[in-house]
Structure 1
Amino acid sequence: MEKMIQALFNSEVEAFTGLQALQQLDLTKDISLGETYVLSKDESGKTAIRSAKDKTEGTGVISGGLLGGLIGLLAGPLGFIVGVAGGMLAGSAGETLKAEDVSDYLDTVSSQIPKGKSVLLAHVWEDWETPVNSVLLPITSDLKRFNVNDEVYLPAQTELHKINKAIQEAESKILDTEGTEKADWKNTLTDLKKQREALQKKLNSNAEQQEKQYHEWIHTAGDTEQEQNEEKKAKLQKRLTEQKTRLEEVRKNR
């Protein structure tokens, strides 16, 4: 199942130890690993965002403008703001309409990271929770998972549906009112259409990113028949089938 994993660590070293453990699970095909980021806050309160997944970039501090699809997926109305040390800050697409872009998202998340702590964010597909739990729980007691489809995309689609209903209501009110009230409804309609356009744009953009990630995972899976362990082979084949199914669903919905 496709998920976002979030883990809080006492240091950046521990966070990267956790990241390396996930990368090893990816190499052994126990999980499919997508983008990963480590957000670290020093004792002065300054937050650094580092990426170690993209081998062409290497490991280093990167700016918001260079962040890839994972952070883009979480940012703004498409996603949900993930809190640390206190659970969720917000749990619906509607709430995160306040976070207009990646920078807003990062500012919000950064403000919730305790000084001296680090957060690992990882986009994964896991067949069961045991592999990730076995490598991360020994070094963190704060591990959270979020189902991408149920907790990210469905809330976003629900929000889009609400906006469309509000647009229909505004259009109806414009026909039934006059004067100042009519002008107010026209302004409301304009604002609603802007919201819909922005949300639809993010949905389309992240659908492209999701499609790209599925292609990568499917390509990386290779020939599952090479796997000698029958139980693991069955898991790999099931995962591959599910990823191909999701890829087709994303294509149809675009």
Structure 2
Amino acid sequence: MANIIIVSFKEETKAIEALHKIKELDNYGDITLYEYMMFRKKEDDQYEVLKDETKEERWRTFTGMALGGLIGALVGPIGLVVGLFSGTTVGAILDFSRYDFEEDFLRKINNKMKIGDITIVAEVGEENPIFIDNALKSFNSEIIRSEADVEFDDFIEDQIDDLEDKIEDERKKLKKATDDAKTKITAKITELKTKRKAKIEDMEAKRKSTLKSIKDKTKAKIKKLQSKLDNYEDTIFDTIKQTRIDRLKRRINRQKSKLNKLNHQLEEVLD
């Protein structure tokens, strides 16, 4: 099962140690770590993000706007959660139609970070919460958890579920494998994670394309209605025809309202 977890710390050393423990669980095969971000809120709309692609871990500073762009690179629900928790998701805070998060989880997310807090947000595959709970028990930090249940279409969802099942199988092998075999199994898990991420990215691209198509069709419909209205206004002035004009205006206004909503949704998806 894929879950979103959030855990915050006051001290940098403890936060980094906790992240290492989560990564160790992934290495041991107890959990699968899909995506994660560690960040710290500073004053004046500034955030620090831990960049640990190399052995020498370091922090990079971003403005709230720049952090919003960085979040856009995170696919699936984790990007939304990081944005909500940091307060940098523009326009999407109240739109959870694509996500099945628990009410209590959303309430806790909306209790924004305090200045100086260091937060880990991660998407993990876990059969039982006991592994992460026990690993982080000594830190005395609350772990906020919810299922990462994004409403994909059935076909994409089945493929992602299949990949997650394969990852779970490989993870079980990893726990029993010899040192020589662990390298191959770890590489296989990494490959499966990459395929899973690609599937989610493909789904997001199709969603954006569909939304844009609807928007274009709506604009075309408005243009057609506007053309009819112009023809009426050029030649017709009697009461019956004026009623038709008014009816067309109302239809145009309804279509414009629909287009505004679609534009708003498109901006949120593209952010």
Normalising to structure 2: TM-score of the pair? Answer: 0.48
The answer as to whether partners of 1:7 and 1:140 remain within 8 angstroms in 2 is: no
Query: Could you tell me how far 1:179 is from its partner in structure 2?
Result: 4.6
| Match of residue 143 from structure 1 | 143
What is the aligned partner in structure 2 of residue 31 from structure 1? 31
Q: Distance in 2 between matches of 1:24 and 1:75?
A: 23
Structure 2 alignment gaps of length 5 or more: 88-92, 100-108, 153-203, 226-243
Query: Which amino acid in 1 is paired with 2:117?
Result: K
Give the Å deviation of 1:28: 0.6
Q: Give 1:190's aligned residue.
A: 259
Q: Quote how far apart the aligned CAs of 1:200 are.
A: 6.7
Give 1:36 deviation, angstroms.
2.0
Please say if residues 6 and 120 of structure 1, whose CA atoms lie closer than 8 Å, have aligned partners that are also in contact: yes
Match of 1:153 among 151, 154, 160: 151
Q: Tell me the C-alpha RMSD between the 2 structures.
A: 4.5
- Relative to structure 1, the CA distance from residue 3 to residue 111 in structure 2 (aligned partners, 3 Å threshold; closer, same or farther) is closer
What is the CA distance between 1:32 and its match in structure 2? 0.7
Cα 1:79/1:184, change in 2 over 3 Å: farther
1:71/1:82 Cα in 2 relative to 1: closer, same or farther (>3 Å)?
Answer: farther
User: What residue number does 2:84 align with?
Assistant: 81
The one of 226, 235, 247 equivalent to 1:178 is 247
Shift of 1:35: 2.3
2:159 match: none
Whole-angstrom distance in 2 between the partners of 1:73 and 1:180: 40
SS, match of residue 3 in structure 2: strand
Which stretch of the first structure deviates more once superposed, 131-140 or 185-194?
Answer: 185-194
Answering whether residue 60 of structure 2 is matched by residue 61 of structure 1, we say yes
Q: Is the 8 A contact 1:41 1:118 kept in 2?
A: yes
1:190-229 superposed matches below 5 A: 190-195=259-264, 197=266
Provide the C-alpha distance between the structure 2 equivalents of 1:200 and 1:47, rounded to a whole number of angstroms: 22
Paired-residue identity, %:
17
CA contact (8 A) 1:51 1:62 kept: no
Q: Highest Rg: 1 or 2?
A: 2
Kept after mapping to 1: 8 A contact 2:3/2:123: yes
Amino acid of the residue matched to residue 19 of structure 1?
L
Conserved 8 A contact 1:3-1:147: yes
User: Does structure 1 conserve the Cα–Cα contact (< 8 Å) formed by 2:32 and 2:125?
Assistant: yes
Q: 3-state SS of the aligned residue for 2:138?
A: coil
Equivalenced residues, count: 171
Q: Give yes or no for contact 2:98–2:151 (8 Å, CA) kept in 1.
A: no
C-alpha distance in structure 2 between counterparts of 1:146 and 1:91, whole Å: 17
Aligned to 2:105: none
SS of residue in 1 equivalent to 2:50? strand
TM-superposed deviation, 1:57: 9.7
Q: d(CA) in 2 for partners of 1:79 and 1:20?
A: 19
CA shift, 1:138, in A, is 1.7
Maintained 8 Å contact 1:79/1:93: no
Change in Cα spacing, 1:110 to 1:37, as seen in structure 2 (3 Å) is: farther
The 3 A distance-change label for structure 1 pair 83 and 62 is: closer
Letter in 1 for 2:84: I
AA in 2 matched with 1:189: K
Q: Distance in 2 between matches of 1:197 and 1:45?
A: 25
Distance 1:10 1:55, change over 3 A: same
Counterpart-to-counterpart distance in 1, 2:260 and 2:95: 20
Deviation at 1:91, TM superposition (A): 7.3
**1:185 Cα deviation after fit:** 0.8
Matched, 1:40 2:40: yes
In 1, the alpha carbon distance for the partners of 2:248 and 2:44 equals 55
Q: 1:92 to 1:201 in 2, by over 3 A?
A: closer
Q: AA paired with 1:48?
A: E
CA displacement at 1:75 relative to structure 2: 4.3
What secondary structure is seen at the aligned counterpart in 1 of 2:116? Answer: coil
